[in-house]
Chains A and B, each alone.
Chain A
Amino acid sequence: MAAETSDTSAKAESIVEVRHLSKTYDGRVRALEDINLSFPKGQLTTLLGPSGCGKTTMLKIIAGLLEPSSGEVFVNGKKITGPGPERAFVFQDFALMPWATVLRNAAFGLELRGMAKNERNEIARKYIAEVGLTGFENSYPRELSGGMRQRVGLARALAVNADVLLMDEPFSAVDEQTRRKFQEDMLALMEIEKKTFIFVTHSIEEAVYLSDQVVLLSRLPGKVSEIIKAPKAAGSPDEIRRDKVYLDTVEHIWQTLRKYLEE
């Protein structure tokens, strides 16, 4: 045991490793090419890039929902072959069952694991409260706004107590005000939950605001063009949004991405 700990301590930092990952759709569309990435434990890494650059593809491969054409993904040092309990996915379109209540939706990951009803509902209630939806347990998704629906999706992913949360543009279907509030709640949640987040977005501000590390992807084939460390500024949300380092990082990323648009 002791030997193992010391052996892994050098790279204990990273929980997800992506090695020489490539994905070609239908033998033609080169969505990803030779991606090598490390995702540090307990941090939030954003995948940022223009749409169609393979962000969803990469996230689904890490989730085990898609097979890579070549290369491999390691989670906690083990090569993945499919979905696993240490990873949970938050879907862009929420993926809530319209026929199930908020409570059942939030508990669904646990239901699939065969956990008893009382037990799973209790856990789900706790996370419904954590994402700020207390009182809506018995509502149906269609009675909720887009932002609230995504909170249910988040509660469902948190309830299974995975180490890594994979989030595919979770706020893209949410209006701007709700989105800001959601981002602030996310930061607070990351303090409590101490999980690793892999987050996809096409919003530069959102990426810099939330992330410890931003991975810039270029388009067709999707490649890593730059990795930017974005240490989170302290202070209130408004202070952060006016922080010089924050603004400089946003500007730097914009200049980089602009090159791809002009090509």
Chain B
Amino acid sequence: MHEWFNKDSIFWRLLSILIFFSAWEIAGRVPISPAFPTFIDTMEGLFRMISDGSFFEKYMITLKPLLVGVFITCFFGITFGVSMGLSDRIDWLGQPVFIVLQAAPVSALIPMITYVYGIGFTSKIIAVCILAMPVVVLNSINAVRNANTSLIEMSRSFQGTRMQEVFKVILPDASPMIFAGLRLGVAGGFVGIVLAELLITPTGIGDLISYHRSVANYAEMYATVLSIILLAAATVRFFERLEVRLFRPEKQGT
């Protein structure tokens, strides 16, 4: 009985989704703008795109460079960040670059990438990486720097080697912050891929968005935007789960 009123219960989640979509439906019917479709119209647009095959076809084009970019970011971002956190010399070399990158409006760089690498696969991967990498690297550095000194001392007092100290103590202790960086990075990666596909010649879902906008199919356009937002949210949530599974068994079931 009272489980239903627990703030994490499925009931409240469904309720909040229901309220959101109803508000959308009402706003669409008012209407606040002729270019703003109702929720039901948007869903119809989604089904039209799915049934004519364009939805999945364009998504495949978008997802490939996104996936590669996110993978590169995870692997190299964490490797760089952790090494910089562990070693002052590597840190001295690398950290300024990432601080500048994080502060700069890097989306302005995206059109420049096209000059160098053209409008293909490579440019998109680079766009994903420059938006995702800095926060992953900087979070990893800070996570390692702020690892619990008392636990490190504990490991040393039991004659743990530096390797054991890094892998058994520092990394598990740093994992929440590293994963927080990954979640922000992945969100940045989505921004990167959408920007690249809108700013560079429209391809993938960028093409879906700009095409349907140009022919005033606002339902399809909103359906595409909604789908990419939901996908980004689901991916971020997946990374949250992954962290608990891999490193934080004590948080399981909470």
Binding site for B on A (CB under 8 A): 60, 63-65, 83-85, 87-89, 91, 93, 95, 97-99, 108-109, 111-113, 140-142, 160
Contacts and interface: CB of A to CB of B under 8 A. Distances in A.
Interface string B2-28: 000000000000000000000000000
The A interface, classified by DSSP as helix, strand, loop or mixed, is loop
21 contacts: A64-B157, A65-B156, A83-B157, A83-B158, A84-B159, A85-B159, A88-B158, A89-B153, A91-B150, A91-B153, A95-B148, A95-B153, A99-B173, A99-B248, A99-B249, A108-B158, A111-B168, A112-B160, A112-B164, A113-B159, A142-B250
Contacts of B151: 95, 97
B243 to A, nearest CB: 11
Nearest to B150: A95
Given A65-B153, A95-B148, 6 more contacts: A97-B169, A97-B172, A99-B249, A99-B250, A112-B158, A112-B168
Contacts of A108: 154, 158
B247 interface: yes
Contacts of A84: 159
Contacts of A63: 157
A112 B158 CA distance: 7
B150, B151, B250: most-surrounded residue (chain A CB, <10 A) = B250
B186 to A, nearest CB: 23
B73 to A, nearest CB: 25
Nearest to B248: A99
A65 B157 contact: yes
B169 A83 contact: no
Contacts of A95: 148, 150-151, 153-154
A204 to B, nearest CB: 26
A57 to B, nearest CB: 13
Contacts of A109: 158
Contacts of B168: 111-112
A88 B250 contact: no
A108 B160 CA distance: 10
Given A91-B150, A95-B154, A140-B250, A83 B159 contact: yes
A83 B152 CA distance: 13
Most A C-beta atoms less than 10 A away, residue of B150, B153, B154, B249: B154
Contacts of A160: 158
A207 to B, nearest CB: 23
Interface string B213-249: 0000000000000000000000000000000000111
B155 interface: yes
Which of B158, B169, B248 counts the most A-chain CB atoms under 10 A from its CB? B158
A140 B156 CA distance: 22
Nearest to A141: B250
Contact of A91 (B154, B172, B248, B250): B154
A89 B169 contact: no
A109 B248 CA distance: 20
Contacts of A91: 150, 153-154
A99 B159 contact: no
A113 B172 CA distance: 19
A99 B157 contact: no
Interface string B95-135: 00000000000000000000000000000000000000000
A60 B164 CA distance: 21
Nearest to B251: A99
A109 B156 CA distance: 10
Nearest to B161: A112
Closest 7 CB pairs of A and B: A95-B154, A140-B250, A109-B158, A89-B157, A112-B160, A95-B150, A112-B158
